[in-house]
Structure 1
Amino acid sequence: MHIYNNILETIGNTPMVKLNKVTASLPCTVLAKVEFFNPGNSIKDRMAVKMVEVAEQNGWLKPGGTIIEGTSGNTGMGLALAAVIKGYKCIFTTTDKQSKEKMDILKALGAEVIVCPTNVEPEDPRSYYSVSKRLAKEVPNSWYVNQYDNLANRDAHYEQTGPEIWEQTSGKVTHLVVATGTGGTVTGTGKYLKEKNPAIKVWAIDSYGSLLKKYFETGELDMSEVYPYITEGIGEDFVPQNYDMSVIDHFEKVTDKDGAVMARRIAKEEGIFVGYSAGSALAGLMQLKAQLKPEDVVVVVFHDHGSRYVGKVYNDQWMMERGFLDVKTVKDVVNARAGQPLVTIKPDEKVSDAIAKMRKFDIEHIPVLQQDEVVGSVSENSLFLRLIDDAQIKDATIKTMMQPAFPLVSLDMPIEKLSAYINKENGAVLTKDDSGNFHIVTKYDIIQALGN
């Protein structure tokens, strides 16, 4: 039997997976180092446990102690796993831009999580850096991890991630692409690979709103480069000590939108449910396609799992609110009508009145309204079938002939999702605008919208 003594022993030896559809436009082979196979679902498990082990060896972390760290979530997860197995407590500070899923996971593992504002300077006493440092001084028998300047971070990747990539590619790797934050992964992994083959290119992917690219290119800490951004886990507003810029060949910036859209593409086209930074890493590689050759073997690190972003990147509403999702919605269909009024009918009107309105306005579906409330519907097809059976029903009232009301949907619903509501039995849906006015969307409207 092959049995692990605890969950920490399962860290590492993550799979390398060839990408096919999403990278079809690239001339080279692209391989993904899928790090969410680690037990904490991210690459941060590697360095978290390494830092804990070094702290134990040096006497910084003592039995029954408290681990304190500022984290975007993934490092906290690795530290929390180590704490569970080794018997420590955890207090983590994080920013208010991090996903709720990350915070909930940390709490599920017994950690205390303190949320701090994102848009403050690192030196601000409210920043998650400052709060974690303060707590480390106030909490007895505690150890402040400081993943940014703790060189055990990059050592973990020099000892583990680099050798794994070299072995899995049989030494054929030509490029390493990493969306980088603390600098541990890109520096440690890149250092090992370059020692094996100095010709290997190391490309670091940065975010707009981060100063790392400018610092790499000029050596200048330009705070004008720093502004709020949405991408999680990458970019910095300072330069952590884990960076060895001599290991890196190029920094490439990626927008919040491009990273998010690419993450969704990876999930849909490759079946690999990745996090935000993996989308940024691959988007950055795609921007550099002109520098690639057919014989190149590119390894892209997929840092974590998409389950931590279901409320953000994988949420249509969140994506649309930020202009990241280029989809047509019910609102687009309504706006395309240029304010055409909704044709309705009352329950006490006659079937012949409905037929007349259908002819006059060239429509098939009419909502039935009573005192501004939708109480039913009539459709050309249903009336036609009944008239064939009994021509006299044209004198019947609508309330005796009407069908259930059309489903009510939100204005921001993507039209692709309307197939769940519009079908053979039901030919339309209703929506309501901010002024309380009803609008109808039919099969014909959807065909028109998708065709444009």
Structure 2
Amino acid sequence: MWYNNILETIGNTPLVKLNAITKHVKGTILAKIETTNPGNSIKDRMALKMIEDAEEAGLLKPGGTIIEGTSGNTGMGLAMAAVVKGYRCIFTTTDKQSKEKIDALRAFGAEVIVCPTNVDPEDPRSYYSVSSRLEKEVPNAWKANQYDNLSNTKAHYEQTGPEIWEQTEGKITHLVVGVGTGGTISGTAKYLREKNPNIKVWGIDTYGSIFKKYKETGIFDKGEIYPYITEGIGEDFLPKNVDFSQIDLFEKVSDKDAALMTRDLARKEGIFAGNSAGAALAGLLQLSGSLKEDDVVVIIFHDHGSRYMGKMYNEDWLRERGFLKDEKLTAQAILKKRGEQAIVTADANQTVLETFNTMKSLNISQIPVTQQGMVVGKVTESDILSALLENPALKSSAVEEISSKPFPFVDLNTSIDKISGLINKDTQAVLVEDAYGKINIITQYDIINAISEV
């Protein structure tokens, strides 16, 4: 058996029991692994459905251009379908999205325009507004509008819901879904509740989003809105695809808990999923006290971990945000092991000879160069030697004349791996500002010492 094209492979994704992370949770916890779709996300389902419905309605014509504001996954589904069906794609996205997602869209030949995150949806710079403007300006264009296009919800009513009902043999008691556009949770819940009105539906939200408060109070509170890191869930407006009547409650999950749970999924369950999967599972654990032994919970894992390699799966990224404990040596740990040590610097106006004598007396091979207390460069023994061999008269010149670019600055939470990667034949040290604003230097010798003491 074969398929006529890649679009025919969308859907029929597996349901997998979680074991390690949920071992203390009552009930059976099953994950719907949407990463097995050809575009590695659940968005393939609704992307194709939106296109097919638009074709049927005459909104998307042969040779047309598909325009959409997307964080990456919907764009991937649309771009994949566009390749097969012969359409052009222009996508707008936000600057908080991972580079991997944007690169993936461009790999399919799509044009991607990156817009600022921290602006209102109505702002002309927002990715919503830019996509709407392009729809008017580009000839023969159709905007998918995943947030308000109800074909999104329809796709999950027709596909995801029936799959889950069949796979659980109708035993599902709870559906847990991270909510972004709302199509997945609304369509899936609608189908399942037609089969069994007693099924509980839990939406997972993030801090900085308005869904939870709106569900509980009916108030759209702009005070709830602020920037957040978690991708794929939460919004600062109300998409038409979010059917609040189908959702029993919303649970908010912090950026940190979502990121660390995403990482734990790979390490403890062997499931390489995206950020919204971590958020959804963390939310389920927060609500797990209400579960019973005979409950069957289905949690949807929307997309693949490969789109988050520079974020949730990058330890330095996690450390920089204070999400990860000091499992490896960091700049802070190296300084602590070394103990208090005053940094020696050379003023930019002192002579090359004075600088060399300072280095010689203290037996150091490199020295930062400062100007009015700011680090503006560095000088090494080899810099001085090369300069004097070329022109001995330079020994009376200001050291800034022979200085090179400064040592790189690193954060206190920067790992030893990253620091080691920065140190090479041209850069013999890094600088780090401690919690009190004092500048410290870390050399290769300090790193070796710290490792040998572990």
Q: TM-score, normalised by structure 1?
A: 0.79
Paired position in structure 2 for 1:333: 333
Paired position in structure 2 for 1:300: 299
User: How far apart, CA to CA, are the structure 1 residues paired with 2:249 and 2:452?
Assistant: 46
Paired position in structure 2 for 1:245: 244
1:289: how far off?
A: 1.2
Paired AA for residue 169 in structure 2 = S
1:199: how far off?
A: 1.1
User: How far apart, CA to CA, are the structure 2 residues paired with 1:317 and 1:445?
Assistant: 19
CA contact (8 A) 1:81 1:109 kept: yes
Paired position in structure 2 for 1:164: 163
1:264: how far off?
A: 0.1
CA contact (8 A) 1:333 1:441 kept: no
Paired AA for residue 197 in structure 2 = P
User: How far apart, CA to CA, are the structure 2 residues paired with 1:95 and 1:109?
Assistant: 19
Change (3 A) 1:418 1:331: closer
Paired position in structure 2 for 1:348: none
Change (3 A) 1:447 1:83: same
Change (3 A) 1:229 1:220: same
1:66 corresponds to 2:65: yes
**Deviation digits for residues 23-67 of structure 1 (CA, Å, limit 9, x no counterpart):** 112122111000010000000000000000000000000000000
CA contact (8 A) 1:330 1:441 kept: no
Paired AA for residue 142 in structure 1 = A
User: How far apart, CA to CA, are the structure 2 residues paired with 1:442 and 1:129?
Assistant: 48
User: How far apart, CA to CA, are the structure 1 residues paired with 2:420 and 2:122?
Assistant: 52
Q: Percent identity?
A: 65
Alignment of 1:387-406 (within 5 A): none
Paired AA for residue 89 in structure 2 = C
Paired position in structure 1 for 2:31: 32
Q: Secondary structure at the match of 1:67?
A: strand
CA contact (8 A) 1:415 1:446 kept: no
Paired position in structure 1 for 2:374: none
Q: Secondary structure at the match of 1:288?
A: helix
1:323: how far off?
A: 1.0
**Deviation digits for residues 403-449 of structure 1 (CA, Å, limit 9, x no counterpart):** xxxxxxx87554699999xxxxxxxxx96443563465689956977
User: How far apart, CA to CA, are the structure 1 residues paired with 2:145 and 2:30?
Assistant: 31
1:374: how far off?
A: 10
Paired AA for residue 334 in structure 1 = I
Paired position in structure 2 for 1:228: 227
CA contact (8 A) 2:316 2:415 kept: no
1:136 corresponds to 2:140: no
Paired position in structure 1 for 2:119: 120
User: How far apart, CA to CA, are the structure 2 residues paired with 1:59 and 1:232?
Assistant: 33
Q: Secondary structure at the match of 1:69?
A: strand
Paired AA for residue 204 in structure 1 = G
User: How far apart, CA to CA, are the structure 1 residues paired with 2:35 and 2:226?
Assistant: 29
**Deviation digits for residues 233-274 of structure 1 (CA, Å, limit 9, x no counterpart):** 111111111121111111000111110000000011111111
User: How far apart, CA to CA, are the structure 1 residues paired with 2:331 and 2:196?
Assistant: 55
Paired position in structure 2 for 1:207: 206
Q: Secondary structure at the match of 1:304?
A: coil
For structure 1, the 5+ residue unaligned runs are 343-367, 376-409, 421-429
**Deviation digits for residues 44-93 of structure 1 (CA, Å, limit 9, x no counterpart):** 00000000000000000000000011011100000001100000000101
Q: Secondary structure at the match of 1:298?
A: strand
Paired AA for residue 6 in structure 1 = N
CA contact (8 A) 1:68 1:144 kept: yes
Q: Secondary structure at the match of 2:170?
A: coil
CA contact (8 A) 1:12 1:46 kept: yes
User: How far apart, CA to CA, are the structure 1 residues paired with 2:129 and 2:174?
Assistant: 36
User: How far apart, CA to CA, are the structure 2 residues paired with 1:337 and 1:12?
Assistant: 54
Paired AA for residue 333 in structure 1 = A
User: How far apart, CA to CA, are the structure 2 residues paired with 1:262 and 1:206?
Assistant: 15
Alignment of 1:101-120 (within 5 A): 101-120=100-119
Paired position in structure 2 for 1:176: 175
Change (3 A) 1:139 1:27: same
Paired AA for residue 441 in structure 2 = N
**Deviation digits for residues 133-180 of structure 1 (CA, Å, limit 9, x no counterpart):** 111011110101111110000000000000001111111111110001
Change (3 A) 1:438 1:216: closer
1:278: how far off?
A: 0.5
- The alignment of Structure 1 onto Structure 2 pairs a total of residues equal to 384
Change (3 A) 1:369 1:79: same
1:330: how far off?
A: 2.9
User: How far apart, CA to CA, are the structure 2 residues paired with 1:369 and 1:441?
Assistant: 13
Paired AA for residue 326 in structure 1 = K
Change (3 A) 1:374 1:71: same
Change (3 A) 1:244 1:432: closer
Paired position in structure 2 for 1:52: 51
1:336: how far off?
A: 2.6
Change (3 A) 1:113 1:415: closer
Q: TM-score, normalised by structure 2?
A: 0.79
CA contact (8 A) 1:35 1:41 kept: yes
Paired position in structure 1 for 2:441: 437
For structure 2, the 5+ residue unaligned runs are 343-362, 368-379, 383-409, 422-427, 433-438
Q: Secondary structure at the match of 2:242?
A: coil
CA contact (8 A) 2:259 2:275 kept: yes
CA contact (8 A) 2:152 2:183 kept: yes
Q: Secondary structure at the match of 1:437?
A: strand
Paired AA for residue 112 in structure 2 = V
Q: Secondary structure at the match of 1:94?
A: strand
Paired AA for residue 334 in structure 2 = V
Q: Secondary structure at the match of 1:77?
A: helix
C-alpha RMSD of matched pairs (Å): 2.7
Change (3 A) 1:174 1:448: farther
Change (3 A) 1:28 1:444: farther
Change (3 A) 1:24 1:414: farther
Paired position in structure 2 for 1:268: 267
User: How far apart, CA to CA, are the structure 2 residues paired with 1:123 and 1:418?
Assistant: 43
Paired position in structure 1 for 2:77: 78
CA contact (8 A) 1:124 1:130 kept: yes
1:324 corresponds to 2:323: yes
